[in-house]
Amino acid sequence: MYIVIREFKSNDKLQANEVLKEGILSNLPTAFWTACTREITFQLVVLTAAIMFIFLGVPFLLCILAVPLVLLIIYLSIYASHLMRVAEYHQGPVSKYCWVAEALEPYFFTQHPKDIAYTIISENDTSFKKLDMGSYQRKIIGTVSVDRHRNRHYSAWLHKLAVDTKYRRKGVGSALILTAVKFCETEKYETIECASSECQLPARQLILNSGFQLMQMYHKKLAFASLEKYHMGLELCLPSNTDELIR
């Protein structure tokens, strides 16, 4: 079985969006448990219990219901924020440079992908050109995009990195990042940068293992708390002509 890293095509959008959606929602449990450890969560529980007891006349022992009530509100809030991010990706414009990872598997494939060893190849490899594509069913299982950095000249921004959970730990994410990095080197970008949150530890570790360095840690303000963010970057080849414009 093979996994092919290739350029994004217009008819890949539906499947690629599903991979992105799954990738975003897979961070939901970590985000929820992280929120549960915040001091603000304890304060909300105490405040809710006080309101129930003082203003609503709820018996003291029943005020313990403030705990599941607050946790439910937090979970729904986090879930809604993740869905909003999914909607932004679905409705937003397609990035200028995108790549997908496509699994090639036999028809009537019944084994779980985690139990299979896949060979990762590029669409430019000679081994890919020799494949009989009619013998395989094809499925998008990963995606990554690159755009020009909004604030820095000669810098690229890597985003929309996602891999189907059933195909993780097979080198797909590393292959997608490597493809994006090689493209940025060819296009003479100075650096390629990206960001992740504290709830995306596996993705952050994957990016750091791909040669990126931690550039900055900062906090993004949310409604009732803040989220720790990590800004990472990788130095690339400097342009030979500083007056050259990047496409």
| Whether CATH 3.40.50.920 fits 2-8+95-235 | no
- Strand order from edge to edge, sheet including 2-7: 119-122, 2-7, 97-106, 136-148, 155-163, 191-197, 226-235, 213-221
- In this prediction, what percent of the chain has a pLDDT beyond 70? 94
CA distances from 201 to 26, 93, 150, 205 (A): 12, 27, 25, 6
Query: Is the pLDDT assigned to residue 17 strictly greater than 80?
Result: yes
Greater model confidence, 141 or 114: 141
Q: Summarize pLDDT for 89-102 with one digit per residue, the tens.
A: 888 888 889 999 99
CA angle 181, 6, 212 (to 5 degrees): 20
Domain spans, the chain: 2-8+95-235
Q: Tell me the pTM.
A: 0.88
- Which band of pLDDT confidence, cut at 50, 70 and 90, is reported for residue 242? very low
Q: Summarize pLDDT for 217-237 with one digit per residue, the tens.
A: 998 876 566 789 999 999 996
Mean pLDDT calculated for residue range 144-150: 93
- Which band of pLDDT confidence, cut at 50, 70 and 90, is reported for residue 128? confident
Query: Is the pLDDT assigned to residue 76 strictly greater than 50?
Result: yes
